[in-house]
């Protein structure tokens, strides 16, 4: 039960110095806040009075505390850190709303909120990274890497830092040692950890990680960012698609030549242009990186005979002449194929929808009740 304002102020006279007392009387503390302050120990009451947060924020916290949204441990933790920093105060409403909406358990949300006193991160981003199990919020005002992410970053030899307790920082030489000690582990770029967590779930992660390990020495002090890793991933996938498409089209070309060998000399001579052009297409793919998107590669890979289709595009477009126009022919072929795929999918979806409508039972027709005789 909350005390009256006069009761609270009478008790606080014995706990606060003159400057602190003047502040709680004149700065707009609510009756609830004064009651909370009065019921606490002298040290805790003075901590509240010394908080760098605005009085409006203190009032919100006291309402959340007395209303049961946060517990005493949460309240104490927030007040303790608010005496030294207020960088995170702007996220107070988001923090309280996340608990109300069950986005995060109150103690996890509290640690995440407090960590933003020192972390250069928004509350929304911190919550997203915690829910994705990339980071967890420590009790010392920081976000620490989850163990599996830290181990993968160590395998890439990305520089990591750790902290024992509140302020003893050191360079990580052995991630497992730091984990065993219960120390928080950090990497310079948040997004790098997010990307590692995303990519390590993929079946080709080890192959990709080995590729990154081969080229990461080119970066100063091996300090890569999430954007760097994303670009490495794009290049890696480009190479993967190129290899798959080349293997497919090499097989198609070999089959084409094998079939030609069964034909007469005149038929082979008549096919000379086709032989040379298809070989040029194959050689282009072997030596160049066509500007194809993942979707365009997928379309070509889905073709029964991609080499034939690219050749037909080449022959029907009179603007294609030089070797580098082969890349344009590949793009045009892929786009035409994707258009056909999209049309086919749309038609199938419409047929499925029509089938489902036919299968739905007809709604019961309600008969109009007969009028009663007067």
Q: DSSP label at 137?
A: E
> What percent of the chain stands above pLDDT 70?
95
**234 and 174 within one domain:** no
**305 and 231 within one domain:** yes
pLDDT at 364: 56
Closest CA to 150 of 127, 173, 131, 128: 173
**326 and 233 within one domain:** yes
pLDDT at 188: 93
Q: Is 215 helix (H, G, I), strand (E, B) or coil?
A: helix
Please report whether residue 58 resides in a domain. no
pLDDT at 63: 96
Q: DSSP label at 368?
A: P
pLDDT at 21: 92
pLDDT at 367: 52
Domains of the chain: total: 2
Q: Measuring CA to CA, how many Å separate 201 from each of 31, 132, 148, 196, 238?
A: 52, 12, 11, 9, 19
Beta bridge partners of 184: 163
Given a contact cutoff of 8 angstroms between Cβ atoms, the answer to whether 261 and 228 are in contact is: no
Question: Which residues constitute the domain of residue 300?
Answer: 227-348
Interatomic CA distance for residues 156 and 165, integer angstroms: 26
Please report whether residue 253 resides in a domain. yes
pLDDT at 370: 46
Output the DSSP codes for 176-189: HHHHHTT-EEEES-
pLDDT by residue for the chain (374 residues), tens only, comes to 678 899 999 999 999 999 999 988 999 999 999 999 999 999 999 999 999 999 999 999 999 999 999 999 999 999 999 999 999 999 999 999 999 998 889 999 999 999 999 999 999 999 999 999 999 999 999 999 999 999 999 999 999 999 998 889 999 999 999 999 999 999 999 999 999 999 999 999 999 999 998 888 888 888 899 999 999 999 999 989 999 999 999 999 999 999 999 999 999 999 999 999 999 999 999 988 888 888 999 999 999 999 999 999 999 988 888 888 999 999 999 999 988 888 888 888 888 777 777 666 655 555 544 433 33
**236 and 217 within one domain:** no
Please report whether residue 20 resides in a domain. no
**180 and 242 within one domain:** no
pLDDT at 38: 94
Please report whether residue 271 resides in a domain. yes
The helix, strand and coil proportions of the chain, stated in percent and rounded to the nearest 5, come to 65, 5, 30
Interatomic CA distance for residues 208 and 204, integer angstroms: 6
Please report whether residue 50 resides in a domain. no
pLDDT at 368: 44
Please report whether residue 84 resides in a domain. no
Q: DSSP label at 85?
A: -
**201 and 160 within one domain:** yes
């Amino acid at each position: 039960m909350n005390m009256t304002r006069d009761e609270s102020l009478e008790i606080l006279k014995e706990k606060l110095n003159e400057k602190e007392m003047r502040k709680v009387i004149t700065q707009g503390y609510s009756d609830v806040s004064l009651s909370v302050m009065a019921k606490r120990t002298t040290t805790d009451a003075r901590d509240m009075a010394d908080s760098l947060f605005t009085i409006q924020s203190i009032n919100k916290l006291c309402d959340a505390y007395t209303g049961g949204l946060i517990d005493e441990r949460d309240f104490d933790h927030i007040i303790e850190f608010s005496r030294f920093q207020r960088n995170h105060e702007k996220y107070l409403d988001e923090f309280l709303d996340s608990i109300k909406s069950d986005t995060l358990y109150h103690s996890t949300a509290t640690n995440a909120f407090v960590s933003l006193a020192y972390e250069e991160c928004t509350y929304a981003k911190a919550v997203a990274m915690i829910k994705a199990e990339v980071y967890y919020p420590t009790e010392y005002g920081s976000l620490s890497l989850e163990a599996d992410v830290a181990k993968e970053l160590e395998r890439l030899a990305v520089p990591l830092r750790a902290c024992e307790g509140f302020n003893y920082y050191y360079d990580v030489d052995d991630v497992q040692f730091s984990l065993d000690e219960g120390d928080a582990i950090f990497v310079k770029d948040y997004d790098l950890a997010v990307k590692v967590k995303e990519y390590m779930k993929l079946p080709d992660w080890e192959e990709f990680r080995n590729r990154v390990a081969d080229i990461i020495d080119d970066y100063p002090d091996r300090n890569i960012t999430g954007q760097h890793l994303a670009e490495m991933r794009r290049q890696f996938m480009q190479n993967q698609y190129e290899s798959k498409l080349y293997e497919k089209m090499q097989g198609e070309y070999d089959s084409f030549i094998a079939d030609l060998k069964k034909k007469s000399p005149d038929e082979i001579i008549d096919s000379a242009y086709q032989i040379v052009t298809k070989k040029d297409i194959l050689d282009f793919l072997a030596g160049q990186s066509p500007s194809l998107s993942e979707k365009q590669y997928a379309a070509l890979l889905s073709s029964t005979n991609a080499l034939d289709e690219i050749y037909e595009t080449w022959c029907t477009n009179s603007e294609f002449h030089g070797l580098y126009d082969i890349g344009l022919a590949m793009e045009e072929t892929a786009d035409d194929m994707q258009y056909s795929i999209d049309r086919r999918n749309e038609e199938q979806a419409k047929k499925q929808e029509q089938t489902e409508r036919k299968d739905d039972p007809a709604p019961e027709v309600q008969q109009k009740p007969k009028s009663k005789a007067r």
